[in-house]
């Protein structure tokens, strides 16, 4: 047990270090974006004095290292800063740019909740389908079903997300108006209505992530079918399905859990294109809108949340893989 806690502590320390390095990359990349927020809101006719005044109010004229350290220190305390977009309206109103602004956390919180809801709906659909298809493909490997399942899943994952989204919109919202094409989610919406309006983007993401999980489940089970204990189970007269479900699947959990966690990380961090297509009010849509107007604090916060979610789910996958595999718990 002590070795497990030591491994978990090592993974957590590595995750924190990785997130620190990623924060430096995020800050550098975001601040290298072309364009300037002050010039963007003032237009081409802005005087250098007006541009410099806004940059000073927003702290954009300070050295990059100083701005990074200030941003990191504030982020460690849970303060992600204030949105520049709100500073625009405050400045035009003739008030102090730093007063009465909406914080980045206030903007992100409901959007992040919507993204997590979409990821949860997708996981509820994709994980059972992928594991079931993987078990059946292993059970009937090299059969017509196995080849058809591989072709369909590989075709879906090879197609761009926006293409799959538009195909689903065409067939499920235009030609057959079963589901709404726009996911106009809002606070206070009934759960059933929220689920219905999230279903089309969830189906799009399902087509994208199912292939990885299905193929890993299939490969992990097939690798175990030649094991001696599987042969013993067969000699006892157990049915092929029972051999796979009761004996092979529990021992294949480590790689399956790993690939499921990685795909859940993708569902949180890779939803940008799907949210834009369906106008889904998630953190991906907020990220795109903020990049357009060069709202640096919001862009940095979105990137940091994406990175933290991905690192956390990767750490979860590592820990669960270690716990579920005795050979990893006791490497000696």
pLDDT band at 203 (very low <50, low <70, confident <90, very high): very high
Q: Is the C-alpha dihedral spanning 270, 273, 277, 279 positive or negative?
A: positive
For 40, residues 6+ apart whose C-beta sits below 8 A from its C-beta are: 293, 294
- Scored b (16 or more CB within 10 A) or e, 29-61 reads ebeeeeebbbbebbeeebeeeebebbbebbebe
* Position 89 pLDDT exceeds 80: no
pLDDT of residue 117: 92
H or E element, residue 288: helix 283-292
Partners of residue 74 on adjacent β-strands: none
* Position 155 pLDDT exceeds 90: no
Q: Are 198 and 121 in contact (CB under 8 A)?
A: yes
Q: What's the chain's average pLDDT? A: 83
List the one residue out of 128, 103, 157, 126 whose CA is nearest residue 298: 103
- Convert the pLDDT of each residue in 213-241 to its tens digit: 898 888 888 888 878 888 888 888 888 88
The reported pTM is 0.82
* Position 199 pLDDT exceeds 90: yes
pLDDT band at 88 (very low <50, low <70, confident <90, very high): very low
Q: Which of 33-42, 96-105, 111-120, 251-260 has the highest mean pLDDT?
A: 111-120
Q: Tell which CATH architecture fits domain 109-294.
A: Orthogonal Bundle (1.10)
CA angle 34, 39, 45 (to 5 degrees): 130
Give CA–CA dist 31/122, Å, rounded: 33
Of 23-27, 32-36, 108-112, 152-156, the range with the lowest mean pLDDT is 32-36
pLDDT of residue 91: 45
Give CA–CA dist 11/304, Å, rounded: 19
């Amino acid at each position: 047990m002590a070795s497990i806690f030591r491994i978990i502590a090592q993974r957590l320390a590595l995750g924190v270090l990785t997130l620190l390095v990623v924060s430096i990359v995020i800050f550098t990349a975001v601040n290298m974006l072309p364009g300037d927020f002050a010039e963007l809101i003032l237009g081409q006719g802005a005087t250098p004095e007006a541009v410099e005044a806004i940059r000073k109010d927003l702290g954009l004229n300070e050295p990059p290292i100083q701005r990074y350290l200030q941003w990191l220190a504030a982020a460690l305390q849970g303060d992600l800063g204030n949105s520049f977009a709100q500073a625009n309206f405050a400045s035009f109103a003739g008030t102090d740019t730093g007063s009465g602004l909406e914080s980045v956390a206030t903007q992100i919180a409901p959007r992040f909740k919507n993204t997590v809801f979409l990821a949860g709906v997708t996981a509820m659909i994709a994980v059972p389908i992928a594991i079931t298809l993987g078990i059946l493909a292993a059970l009937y490997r090299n059969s017509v079903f196995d080849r058809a399942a591989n072709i369909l899943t590989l075709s879906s994952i090879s197609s761009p997300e926006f293409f799959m989204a538009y195909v689903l919109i065409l067939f499920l919202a235009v030609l057959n108006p079963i589901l709404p094409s726009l996911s106009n989610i809002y606070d206070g919406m009934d759960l059933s209505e929220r689920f219905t309006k999230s279903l089309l983007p969830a189906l799009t993401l399902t087509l994208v992530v199912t292939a990885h999980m299905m193929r890993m489940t299939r490969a992990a089970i097939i690798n175990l079918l030649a094991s001696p204990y599987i042969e013993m189970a067969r000699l006892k007269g157990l049915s092929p399905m029972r051999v796979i479900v009761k004996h092979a699947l529990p021992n294949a959990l480590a790689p399956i859990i790993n690939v499921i966690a990685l795909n859940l990380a993708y569902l949180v961090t890779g939803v940008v294109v799907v949210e834009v297509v369906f106008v889904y009010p998630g953190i991906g849509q907020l990220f795109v809108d903020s990049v357009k107007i060069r709202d640096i604090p919001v862009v940095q916060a979105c990137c940091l949340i994406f990175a933290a979610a991905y690192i956390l789910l990767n750490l979860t996958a590592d820990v669960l893989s270690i716990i579920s595999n005795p050979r990893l718990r006791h490497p000696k």
